[in-house]
Amino acid sequence: MEDLRGSRAVLAMTRVYLAEEQMDETEYVCRVTDCDEEGERLHLTLEEGDLTGLSLDAEYRCTLYPQDVYCEGTVKERFFDREGARLLFSVENGFYKNSLN
């Protein structure tokens, strides 16, 4: 996988794991600040949206620009530090190219 640092990432909830949890229609705009060599974990800085709105008990679709690829996964950690609102996103089953239909 090419270096994704600096890419824009848009997170959208696709499924909740807990019966009492509501689906969230919000799209969270982030910037990729780091990723591991295998592309299994993305370190993101939230640019638009409320960090506490991101659920640790849900699955998200993460679309990356300008690469125009997407993956699905879960938010493993969310926290604030001197860089801002940060999160660790765990990628499930790799990246896929967006198709034009």
* Residue 69 near residue 95 (C-beta atoms within 8 A): yes
What is residue 76's predicted lDDT score, i.e. its pLDDT?
Answer: 97
For residue range 31-86, list pLDDT tens digits in order.
999 998 776 999 999 999 999 999 999 999 999 999 999 999 999 999 999 989 99
Task: Please give the average per-residue pLDDT across 8-26, as a whole number.
Answer: 93
Task: Please give the average per-residue pLDDT across 20-27, as a whole number.
Answer: 91
For 96-101, which contacts have Cβ atoms below 8 Å and span 24 or more sequence positions?
A: 96/69, 96/70, 96/71, 97/68, 97/69, 98/63, 98/68, 98/69, 98/70
> Could you list the residue range(s) of the whole structural domain that residue 36 is in?
8-97
* Whole-number Å distance between alpha carbons of 65 and 68: 5
The total domain count for the chain is 1
What is residue 32's predicted lDDT score, i.e. its pLDDT?
Answer: 96
What is residue 1's predicted lDDT score, i.e. its pLDDT?
Answer: 54
Report the CATH number that the domain containing residue 65 is assigned in CATH. 2.30.110
Banded pLDDT at 98 (limits 50, 70, 90): confident
Residue 44 lies in a domain: yes
Residue 3 lies in a domain: no
Task: Please give the average per-residue pLDDT across 2-16, as a whole number.
Answer: 92
Residue 51 lies in a domain: yes
Residue 1 lies in a domain: no
What is residue 100's predicted lDDT score, i.e. its pLDDT?
Answer: 61
